[in-house]
Amino acid sequence: MVCSRSSAPGCASSSSSWGTTSGPTRRRCTLVGGIQPGLGGAILAADTSREELESRVAADPFVAEDVVSAEIVEIAPWLADDRLKFLLA
C-alpha cells in the first residue's frame, strides 16, 4: 500500500479496527507491518482467494477513502522455513 500521509490520521483508528475484525483474528493475515522508511504498509495473507482478499483490502478505510492505493502481489512459494511450512499448503 502506498500512503498519502496528509489524509492518513483520519483513517488510523478505523483501519486498526478493520485489521482487528477482518485481519489477523480471522487467520487470513499472517503478517502486517510497515514498509520502511515509512513508505506504506504490507500484509502477508494466506488461505484466502484473490477475490476475497481484494474485497477485504477494498474495505480497509485507508483504501476506501483513497488515502492509499493497494497492490496485490501473488507469490507461489516453493520453499519455507519449518515455522512457515503452513504457507506451502
Give strand ranges (E) for the chain: 2-3, 29-35, 40-45, 68-69
Phi, psi of 86 (to 5 degrees): -60, -20
Q: Which domains does the chain have, with CATH numbers?
A: 2-88 (3.30.70)
Higher pLDDT: 24 or 79? It is: 79
63/78 Cα distance (integer angstroms) = 31
Phi, psi of 42 (to 5 degrees): -140, 145
Q: Which residues, 6+ apart, have CB-to-CB distance to 65 below 8 Å? A: 7, 10, 11
Amino acid 51: pLDDT: 93
Higher pLDDT: 34 or 79? It is: 79
Amino acid 25: pLDDT: 43
Greatest CA separation found in the chain?
41
pTM for the full predicted model: 0.65
Q: For 42-67, what is each residue's pLDDT tens digit?
A: 888 888 889 988 998 898 888 888 88
